[in-house]
Amino acid sequence: MRTVEVLLDEAAELGVREAWRRLADAGLPSQARHRSPTNSPHLTLAACPELTAPIRWELAEVAAALPLPVRFTGLVRFERPTSVLAWALDLDAALAGLHRRVWDAVASDSPPEALNPFHDPARWSPHVTLGRTRRPGAFTGRRVPEMLPTPPLSVQLITLRSYDTETGALEVLEPRI
């Protein structure tokens, strides 16, 4: 699979990495434990089996729309099928529009059954993962909010990229000039 993600500006990335460090220091699941050089704070917009030429053409237009200002709204937990702790992002019209363009691009040239239903615009919850684990309820009943830094108020989504889950390769998706 190939993900389509956006990276955060430097200040926001540092804030997320600080949250990762604090979770790890407390012995909780944290993205800080993911030692891959490709691991960086990001917002996943969609995933598809491959980035075909038509998909790439549309994504180049999306990349040209960056940077995009967004804001964190607070802490969120998901249980699906892994336990995830994340900072949620405000799904304003600009972010919803960016996401819709990415979804439409990957859906236009991918088998429908290959698309992650959690990325469908009707279900998508924009968030930046702080920690994840296969242990159900790993983040419930704990004083997690008190141990984390306050998320940055303003964030810029700056770079569109793709991650290949089979090869581990990263690719920056450049804007069409």
| Amino acid 142: pLDDT | 66
| Amino acid 75: pLDDT | 94
Residues 6+ apart with CB under 8 A from 155: 8, 9, 12, 69, 70, 71, 72, 89
Cis before 67? omega within 30: yes
Task: Output the CA torsion sign for 33, 6, 169, 2.
Answer: positive
Are 43 and 6 spatial neighbours (Cβ–Cβ below 8 Å)?
A: yes
Element (DSSP H or E) covering residue 17: helix 10-25
Cα–Cα distance list, 12 to 2, 35, 67, 74, 154 (Å) = 24, 20, 13, 14, 8
Residue written as tokens 């363009």?
101
Phi, psi of 40, rounded to the nearest 5 degrees: -145, 155
Question: What would the two tokens of residue 128 be?
Answer: 């930046």
pLDDT (tens, 9 = 90+) of the chain, 177 residues, equals 999 999 999 999 999 999 999 999 999 999 998 877 778 999 999 999 999 999 999 999 999 999 999 999 999 999 877 899 999 999 999 999 999 999 999 999 999 999 999 999 999 999 999 999 988 888 886 688 888 999 998 899 999 999 999 998 999 999 987
